Structure formats: C-alpha cells, structure tokens
Amino acid sequence: MTLTRLLPATLLLAATALPALAGDEDTAAICAEAETRYVDIFGKPSAEVEDATVVLMYKYNFCPAQITVPVGTTVRWVNVDKRTSHSVLVKDSGQPESDRAFPEESIEFTFLTPGDQDYLCGPHWETQNMIGMVTVTP
C-alpha cells in the first residue's frame, strides 16, 4: 500500500477519535443537567429512590448509559425531558417495546436474568444512538 493510500485512512481515524472525546464530555454535562431536572421535578436526588434504580432519559441519552444491578432489581427509566417522549426496549427480554414515556413519566422493568442486557429507545436508537446496558449480577 502506498503512502497516499495510507494517509487518508490515518486522517480518518484521527478525525473520528476527536468527536468521541467531545461526546463523552457532552454526555457528562447532559447527565448532570438531567439530574438537576430530576431534583426539580421530584424533589430529591434520583439516587435516594429506594424501590428502584433510576436511569434518566434526557436529550437522547440514558443517564447513566451503563449500570450494574443485582438480579431482581427494578430499573425505572424517568423522562426528564421537556418535550420529547422515549421508550425502552430490552432487546433479549422477549418483552415488547414499552409505551412511550412522556416528560415526567417513567418506564419500569425488573431484571430477572443475570448477564449484560442491552436496551434501546425505539424512536431514537438509530438516529441518536440512544442505547444503554444493564449488567445484572447473580
């Protein structure tokens, strides 16, 4: 392979690495904002919820996008957006996609099978990469 053929590939790699780093920072900022929204709406931090593990849905992100919970845990996805609705589809659960959760509504799913379980938002996974994962420990 000649240098002229290698060079564009190298530039392409460099160009794709930069937005990924910027994306991480954006995600952290978005998730911090999401938590502020949650406290404004529900009056306490999402971590203080006792009957479920809360994941926020905000600006096409699941916050946090990856969680680890013991088997039997109910995850509650809460929409803290102002206008957008979201859904949750736990891909290997055999369950259909949830109904849409509109702002301030939530979706719940109890994880009964150990392992990594991918899930996605039906309307946004393809265009906005709105996907998440729950690692369920035995």
**Residue 5 CA to chain centroid, in angstroms?**
38
Instruction: Output 14 or 90, the one with its CB closest to Cu ion.
Output: 90
Instruction: Tell me if 86 contacts Cu ion by CB under 5 A.
Output: yes
Give the C-alpha separation, 45 to 12, whole Å: 41
Q: How far is the CB of 16 from Cu ion (least distance, A)?
A: 24
Binding Cu ion by CB under 5 A: which of 31, 80, 101, 130?
130
CA nearest 135: which of 33, 30, 32, 53?
Answer: 53
Instruction: Output 89 or 136, the one with its CB closest to Cu ion.
Output: 89
Instruction: Tell me if 120 contacts Cu ion by CB under 5 A.
Output: no
Instruction: Tell me if 124 contacts Cu ion by CB under 5 A.
Output: yes
Instruction: Output 5 or 83, the one with its CB closest to Cu ion.
Output: 83
Spatial strand order of the sheet with 115-120 comes to 66-70, 131-137, 115-120, 89-90
Instruction: Tell me if 88 contacts Cu ion by CB under 5 A.
Output: no
SS3 90: strand
Residues that bind Cu ion (CB under 5 A): 86, 121, 124, 130
